[in-house]
């Protein structure tokens, strides 16, 4: 059955009959993830940047042994949690690394920057050779208005000028939030904050 579903996942219409709605949604998301490209210079409208449903910023019940203020990233389900007291957390919808660029680990926020410059990594340029090698920070910059750097890695938690990518695996390993959410998180999280990156679901 798994083999059959794996084959049919390439064809969304056939998957509806063979694997059920959940598999169709997964297959469709994978197809969308592979087709999204960066759009330097694009400035989304406020309506485009307004998330709804589960990816909208919201306070949720969240049982954790981590101290309030800890950031926990659930790559599988595309959520970032900022732990709050009394089994609560602020949950943000995020975009994560595409297949081959997802990772897990324990880091700290080592640096914060407003309106960061963008230098696409070699892997991104290889996939999208039309991209600029450098873009100064500002509206339309793919990193958005804020960035928080993760330890000594090349990865960041940052904004995005592509709100439609939230909930998808599209990046080269960074974690993206819509601009209003990254500004909100940036203002709540100081340098030195503990960040836990998980690929499995957070319970």
Alpha helices in the chain (DSSP H): 2-8, 12-19, 21-35, 122-127, 179-188
Annotated active-site residue 158? The verdict is yes
Active-site hit among 5, 152, 158, 168: 158
The C-alpha atoms of residue 142 and residue 188 are separated, in whole angstroms, by 22
Annotated active-site residue 168? The verdict is no
Alpha helices in 36-96 (DSSP H): none
Active-site hit among 5, 19, 168, 174: 174
Task: Reduce the DSSP state of residue 89 to 3 states and report it.
Answer: strand
Q: Residue length, the chain? A: 203
The C-alpha atoms of residue 13 and residue 39 are separated, in whole angstroms, by 30
175: which 2 tokens? Answer: 């974690």
End-to-end Cα spacing for the chain: 28
The C-alpha atoms of residue 202 and residue 187 are separated, in whole angstroms, by 24
Catalytic residues: 158, 174
């Amino acid at each position: 059955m798994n083999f059959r579903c794996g084959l049919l996942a390439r064809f969304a219409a056939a998957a509806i009959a063979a694997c059920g709605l959940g598999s169709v949604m997964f297959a469709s998301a994978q197809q969308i993830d592979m087709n999204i490209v960066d759009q330097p210079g694009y400035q989304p409208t406020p309506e485009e940047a307004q998330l709804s449903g589960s990816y909208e910023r919201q306070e949720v019940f969240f049982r954790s042994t981590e101290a309030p203020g800890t950031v926990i990233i659930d790559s599988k389900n595309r959520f970032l949690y900022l732990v709050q007291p009394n089994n609560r957390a602020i949950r943000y919808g995020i975009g994560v690394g595409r297949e081959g660029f997802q990772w897990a680990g324990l880091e700290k926020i080592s640096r914060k920057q407003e309106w960061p410059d963008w230098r696409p990594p070699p892997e991104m340029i290889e996939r999208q050779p039309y991209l600029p090698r450098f873009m100064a920070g500002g509206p339309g910059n793919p990193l958005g208005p804020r960035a928080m750097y993760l330890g000594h890695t090349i990865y960041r938690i940052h904004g995005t000028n592509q709100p439609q990518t939230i909930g998808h695996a599209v990046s080269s390993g960074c974690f993206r939030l819509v601009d209003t959410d990254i500004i909100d998180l940036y203002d709540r999280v100081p340098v030195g904050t503990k960040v836990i990156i998980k690929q499995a679901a957070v319970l």
